[in-house]
Amino acid sequence: MSVFSPLTLPNGAIIPNRIAKAAMEENMADADHAPSAKLIRLYRAWGQGGAGLIITGNVMVDARAMTGPAGVVLEDDRYLDRFRALADAGRANGAQVWMQINHPGRQMPAALGQETVAPSAIALDLGAQSKIFPMPRAMTATDIADVQRRFATTAQLAEHSGFTGIEIHAAHGYLLSQFLSPLANHRTDQWGGSLENRARLLVEIARDIRTTVSPSFAVSVKLNSADFQRGGFSPEDARSVITMLTPLGIDLVELSGGSYEAPAMMGASRDERTLAREAYFLEFAREFEEVAAMPLMVTGGIRRRVVAEQVVDSGVEMAGIATAIAIRPDLPNHWRKGGDDAPALKPITWKNKQLASSAHMSAVRYQLERLSLGRSTAPNVSPLWALVTAQLKSKRQAKRYRSWIAQRRVPVNVIAT
C-alpha cells in the first residue's frame, strides 16, 4: 500500500492519500478569536502542499476555556465567514479539512485569569512549573451537560463553515482525556469509577455529533494510546474505548499519547535515532487493529517517507505528520516527486521533560509564524530562544485575552440542532 493511495472512510468520504497534516496549536486568532489572515495564509500553504487530510489546531468550544491565549473559538455563528475562508484555503487542492474541537479542562494557563474546571479538583503536577495551571473546580452535572452541548454545536458550525469533518480531542491530557484518566478523574457518580463511566462523556459527545451533522461529514476522535503515567489511562483502556466508539459511526481514530505531565506526544523531545522510534505510536496501533472497525491514524515523530510507508504497510490507514510538515509544508508533494527529505528541528536534550516539551512547541510555532507571513522556515532556531520569545509573546496575548473576555458580548444566533 502506498501513502499516496486514497482512503475511503466508513461514511463514504474519500481522503486523496494517506498523509495527514496533524494538529498543531497555532495561537493565531484575530482580535475576535476567529481565524486571522495569517492563519488562513498558513492553511493555504498546507492546502497546496499535497496532504490528503489537514486537521486544524485546537478550536475551542468555549471562549472561557482556552488552551492558549490567542486560540480560535467557535461557539456561535458570528464569524463564520472567517472559518469558511480557513476551510477554503485548506481545501483548495482537494484535501479533506477537519476541525479539531477541544476543551482544555484543567490544562488552561492561570495567566488567562479564568476559572478552570475538571472532572475532579486535582491540579496538574508539573513540579516547579505546577503554578502555571491553577487548581480546577470539580465539574457539576450542569457543567458537564453544557460541555456536551458545546461540542455538538461547534461540530455543526464547522460543517456550516465548509469543513469536511471534525476531530474530537480526547487525548494529551485535555478535558475528555481527564475524564478517561483514573489519575485525574476521582468521581464517584456516573462519570467516574469504571472505564465505562469515565468514557461516558466522550461516547455521548461522539453520539451527539454523529446524529447532529450530515452523514457525509466525517467524525473522528483523537485518543491516547496511553498516558505514560503509572496508574493512568492504559493501552488496555484505549482498546476498550475504541470498542465503545465502534457502533457510533466514527470515521477514524487518531492515536497519540501523553499529556502535559508526561509529554510523550512531543516527537522532538525523544530519541529518534532508529526507524522504529520515529513511528512512536505505531506499536500501539498494531495492537488496536483487531478491535478497530474504523480506520486508524498514528501520529508521533514521523518525518521520513520510508516511515510513513511503514505505517500504512502495517495496516494502519493514515500517517499523521506534525513537526516535519511545519518545517516543510510541501513535504507530501516533495515525497510524491521522489524526494526523501526528513525535516527536523534542533534536538532538545534537556533533562526537564516538561520544559523540553514547551521548547519544542515554541520552536514549532516559530515555523508556523514564518509560514503565516509568507517566509521560509528556520528549523535551526535555538529552542531556548524560541521558548523565551514565545513566553514573552504569550504574556502579551494573555493580557489581550483577559481584556477581550471581560468585554465580550453575550453569544447570539446559535444555530439550532
- Closest by CA to 63, choosing from 103, 119, 97, is 103
Measured distance CA(290)–CA(272) in Å, rounded: 28
What is the band of 275 on the pLDDT scale with cuts at 50, 70, 90? very low
Q: Is the pLDDT of residue 356 over 90?
A: no
| Residue 29, C-alpha cell as written in the block | 486568532
Q: Which residues pair with 319 in a beta bridge?
A: 19, 298
Q: What is the per-residue pLDDT for 66?
A: 97
Q: Is the pLDDT of residue 8 over 60?
A: yes
DSSP string computed for 249-304: T--EEEEE---SSS-TT-GGGS---SHHHHSTTHHHHHHHTTT-SS-EEEESS--S
Measured distance CA(371)–CA(381) in Å, rounded: 14
Give me the domains of the chain, ranges plus CATH numbers: 7-407 (3.20.20.70)
Q: Is the pLDDT of residue 416 over 70?
A: no
Give every CB contact of residue 281 below 8 A, 6+ residues apart in sequence: 225, 255, 256, 257, 298, 299, 300
Q: What is the per-residue pLDDT for 408?
A: 82
**β pairing state of 96-102 and 53-55:** parallel
Instruction: Note the pLDDT tens digit of each residue in 189-226.
Output: 999 999 999 999 999 999 999 999 999 999 999 998 86
Instruction: Note the pLDDT tens digit of each residue in 18-32.
Output: 999 999 999 999 999
**β pairing state of 117-118 and 19-21:** unpaired
Cα dist from 188 to 81, 119, 138, 182, 205, whole Å: 43, 10, 12, 11, 20
| Residue 41, C-alpha cell as written in the block | 495564509
What is the band of 229 on the pLDDT scale with cuts at 50, 70, 90? low
Crossing angle of helices 141-160/200-212, nearest 10°?
30
Q: What is the per-residue pLDDT for 270?
A: 41
Instruction: Note the pLDDT tens digit of each residue in 25-75.
Output: 999 999 999 999 999 999 999 999 999 999 999 999 999 999 999 999 999
Give every CB contact of residue 375 below 8 A, 6+ residues apart in sequence: none
Strand ranges (E), 74-217? 96-102, 117-118, 137-138, 165-170
- Closest by CA to 254, choosing from 196, 169, 361, 324, is 169
What is the band of 267 on the pLDDT scale with cuts at 50, 70, 90? very low
Share of the chain above pLDDT 70, in %: 89
Q: What is the per-residue pLDDT for 228?
A: 64
Quote the mean pLDDT of the chain. 90
SS3 30: coil
Q: Which residue has the higher pLDDT, 292 or 177?
A: 177
Instruction: Note the pLDDT tens digit of each residue in 235-251.
Output: 899 999 999 999 999 99
Cα dist from 197 to 119, 200, 352, whole Å: 12, 5, 34
Q: Is the pLDDT of residue 415 over 70?
A: no
**β pairing state of 59-60 and 14-15:** unpaired
Computed from CA positions of residues 55, 61, 62, 67, in that sequence, does the dihedral angle turn out positive or negative? negative
What is the band of 411 on the pLDDT scale with cuts at 50, 70, 90? low
